[in-house]
């Protein structure tokens, strides 16, 4: 074990941090809008199947590998399979993915900070849905505002990662996660009691299989990886700060359940408004920012609740962003013996610079497309969500299921699986079901069948 390696102070601290990583913009911002763009029910069904059959077993595998090696994402593969092994590339790809993800995630997280500020200053008070849409467009059209908030956000993330695992990451998440959950619960109940509820439930849970396309399946599977923070070395790194005793099997189930609940609750809070205010469910990335202010406008104490909501959205984004930043930081600290301070500062500055063209993709650089019709932001998002995370996860599944040289017994002990049968199910999923399912999606995507 590398010297002086810090550990979570408690199991709860670990769960909150891992759940904090999983629950983020992916659940509240991304899930509703990609589900909306992909026609609802069929997408949700595939996403849920991907969580159970692919996401959960791979999360267990990432935790297991991190705990076994007690090292960062690259160090894990180096330690477990040898310095020259090609598997180290999986660690490298994870570190790269986490870094790129951090760069553009901060742009969207900046929007929530901007909305927080707008709520505080009363700019959203009494606006009609159309005015709120206009406000959102106005934000996208102003590079200065977006970049300013992006800078604030990366600085906040850096300040937490700077303080390390216990003092920063763990302490923050313990407060943020329960707060977010309670507020969403309130919005969800409110959504269910409101006018558009039955259309929303129908939209989200009654699959229209005519919408099923290979592209949509790829997006649903990709989103399952994104929302559970898989394939980017995050859960390997977080697992490496774990002591020997925690029952990973159980904890993973809890974390994934919480993550899925938050996404579904966010969907059920947002879609009733979309339908009752006559908005377009396929409106794209602005969906949350254009719908929730409308709901809040109609609620008693709406402004206060809206304030809480954007505060917690920003916090949810922050707890995910710190996990992304922690992956390359842990690598520089563990393997290159950099100080935490130097690693955090350099990576944050670099990620901020890489994030600039993403922020400009919504205005100055909107006409600049890279491949296909994608702006720089869309390209980064596609590259990470649809390709790198699923491929990283696939590699983890294959490695853990077939190449990780540990006995059945040792793997079982690392997972602390409560029963033999549970462990056997996991083995089946990680060795056969998860890799085959993800590989099929890719092979189809590339057009090989
Ligand atoms: N799971 C996070 C979210 O839902 C995003 C994330 C992906 C975080 C990959 C870390 C690694 O917002």
| Whether the CB of 25 sits within 6 Å of ligand 1 | yes
Are 123 and 294 a contacting pair, CB within 8 Å?
no
Give ∠ CA 226-227-231 in degrees, rounded to 5.
40
pLDDT at 358 over 80: yes
Q: What's the whole-number mean pLDDT along residues 375-386?
A: 93
Q: Is the CB of 291 under 6 A from ligand 1?
A: no
379 is written with which tokens?
């390209």
pLDDT tens-digit map of 404-432: 987 777 888 788 777 788 899 999 999 99
Least confident of 4-8, 94-98, 161-165, 440-444: 4-8
Please report the atom of ligand 1 found closest to the CA of residue 324.
Answer: 10
Question: Tokens for 354?
Answer: 């890489």
- Ramachandran region of residue 431, left (φ > 0), alpha (ψ -120 to 50) or beta? alpha
Is it the case that residue 178 has pLDDT exceeding 60? yes
Atom of ligand 1 nearest to the CA of 22: 1
The pLDDT value recorded for residue 2 is 52
Q: How far apart are CA 102 and CA 107, in angstroms?
A: 9
- The number of the ligand 1 atom at minimal distance from the alpha carbon of 23 is 4
Average pLDDT over residues 31-40: 93
> Which of 20, 24, 316 to probe ligand 1 with, by most ligand atoms within 8 A of CB?
24
Ligand 1 and 165: CB distance under 6 A: no
The residue contributing the CA closest to ligand 1 atom 6 is: 229
- Highest mean pLDDT: which range of 212-216, 293-297, 396-400: 396-400
Are the C-beta atoms of 265 and 94 separated by less than 8 Å?
no
170 against 128, higher pLDDT: 128
Of the pLDDT bands very low, low, confident and very high (cuts 50, 70, 90), residue 163 is confident
Using a 6 Å cutoff on CB, does residue 227 contact ligand 1?
yes
pLDDT digits (tens, 9 = 90+) for 310-341: 988 898 899 899 999 999 999 999 999 999 99
Q: Is the pLDDT of residue 3 over 50?
A: no
Q: Compute the mean pLDDT over every residue in the chain, rounded to the nearest whole number.
A: 90
pLDDT beyond 90 at 143: yes
Ligand 1, closest atom to CA 259? 4
Taking the centre of ligand 1 as the mean of its atom positions, its distance from the CA of residue 199, in whole angstroms, is 29
Atom 9 of ligand 1, residue of closest alpha carbon = 229
Nearest CA to ligand 1 atom 11: 229
From 112, 125, 132, select the one nearest 298 (Cα to Cα): 125
- CA–CA separation, 327 vs 333, rounded Å? 10
Distance between CA atoms of residues 103 and 380, nearest Å: 9
Q: Please give the distance, rounded to the nearest whole angstrom, from the Cα atom of residue 27 to the centre of ligand 1.
A: 9
Q: What is the rounded average pLDDT of the residues 185-195?
A: 86
Tell me the two tokens of residue 342: 């130097």
Q: Is the CB of 22 under 6 A from ligand 1?
A: yes
Q: How far is the CA of 355 from the CAs of 103, 104, 220, 315, 320, in angstroms?
A: 4, 5, 25, 19, 16
309 or 137, which is more confident?
A: 137
- Determine contact, residues 129/277, Cβ cutoff 8 Å: yes
Q: Judge whether 318 and 106 are in contact, CB under 8 Å.
A: no
Task: Find the mean pLDDT for residues 127-147.
Answer: 93
**Ligand 1 atom closest to Cα of 316?**
12
Mutate to test the pocket of ligand 1, among 59, 109, 227 (most ligand atoms within 8 A of CB): 227
pLDDT of residue 214: 85
SS3 (DSSP) at 369: strand
Q: Are 303 and 296 in contact (CB under 8 A)?
A: yes
In this prediction, residue 188 carries a pLDDT of 87
What would the pLDDT profile of 241-275 be if each residue is shown by its tens digit? 887 678 888 899 999 999 999 999 999 988 988 88
Is 59 touching ligand 1 by the criterion CB < 6 Å?
no
19 Cα: distance to centroid of ligand 1 (angstroms): 10
In angstroms, what is the span from residue 347 Cα to ligand 1's centroid? 18
Highest mean pLDDT among 113-127, 168-182, 405-419: 113-127
The rounded Å distance from CA 398 to ligand 1 centre is 22
Specify the residue for token string 């996991």: 426
Reported confidence tier of residue 449, pLDDT bands at 50, 70, 90: low
Query: Which residue puts its alpha carbon closest to atom 7 of ligand 1?
Result: 229
324 lines ligand 1 (CB under 6 A): yes
The alpha carbon dihedral of 80, 82, 83, 84 has a sign of negative
Give residue 168's pLDDT. Answer: 62
Contact 268, 29 (CB under 8 A): no
Band (279; pLDDT cuts 50, 70, 90)? confident
Cβ(233) – ligand 1 distance below 6 Å: no
End-to-end distance of the chain based on CA atoms, in angstroms? 45
Q: What is the mean pLDDT of residues 159-180?
A: 75
pLDDT of residue 244: 67
């Amino acid at each position: 074990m590398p010297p002086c390696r810090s550990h979570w102070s408690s199991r709860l601290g670990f769960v909150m941090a891992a759940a904090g990583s999983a629950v983020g913009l992916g659940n509240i911002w991304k899930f509703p809008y990609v589900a909306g763009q992909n026609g609802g029910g069929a997408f949700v069904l595939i996403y849920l199947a991907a969580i159970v059959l692919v996401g959960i077993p791979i999360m267990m595998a990432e935790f297991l590998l991190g705990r076994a090696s007690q090292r960062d994402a690259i160090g894990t593969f180096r330690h477990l399979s040898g310095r020259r092994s090609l598997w180290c590339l999986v660690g490298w790809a994870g570190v790269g993915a986490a870094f790129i993800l951090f760069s553009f995630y901060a742009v969207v997280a900046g929007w929530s900070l901007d909305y927080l500020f707008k709520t505080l200053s009363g700019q959203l008070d009494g606006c009609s849905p159309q005015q709120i849409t206009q406000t959102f467009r106005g934000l996208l059209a102003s590079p200065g505002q977006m970049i300013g908030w992006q800078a604030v956000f990366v600085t906040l993330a850096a300040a937490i990662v700077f303080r390390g695992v216990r003092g920063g990451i763990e302490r923050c998440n313990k407060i943020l996660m329960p707060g977010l959950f309670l507020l969403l619960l309130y919005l969800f109940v409110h959504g269910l009691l409101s006018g558009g509820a039955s259309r929303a439930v129908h939209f989200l849970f009654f699959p229209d299989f005519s919408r099923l396309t290979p592209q949509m399946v790829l997006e649903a599977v990709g989103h399952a990886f994104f929302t559970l923070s898989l394939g980017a070395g995050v859960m390997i790194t977080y697992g490496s700060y774990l002591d020997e005793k925690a029952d990973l099997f159980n904890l993973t189930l809890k974390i994934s359940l919480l993550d899925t609940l938050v996404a579904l609750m966010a969907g059920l809070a947002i879609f009733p408004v979309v339908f009752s205010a006559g908005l377009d469910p396929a409106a794209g990335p602005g969906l949350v920012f254009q719908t929730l202010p409308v709901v809040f406008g109609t609620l008693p104490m709406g402004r206060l609740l809206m304030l809480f909501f954007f505060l917690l959205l920003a916090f949810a984004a922050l707890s995910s962003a710190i996990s992304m930043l922690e992956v390359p930081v842990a690598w520089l600290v563990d393997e290159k013996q950099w100080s935490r301070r130097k690693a955090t500062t350099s990576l944050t500055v670099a990620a901020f610079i890489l994030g600039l063209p993403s922020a400009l993709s919504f205005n100055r650089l909107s006409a600049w497309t890279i491949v296909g019709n994608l702006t720089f932001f869309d390209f980064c998002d596609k590259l990470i969500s649809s390709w790198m995370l699923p491929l990283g996860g696939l590699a983890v599944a294959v490695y853990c299921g077939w190449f990780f040289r540990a006995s059945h017994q040792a793997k079982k002990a690392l997972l602390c699986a409560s029963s033999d049968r549970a462990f056997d199910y996991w083995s089946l999923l990680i060795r056969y079901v998860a890799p085959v399912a993800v590989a099929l999606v890719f092979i189809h995507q590339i057009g090989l069948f």
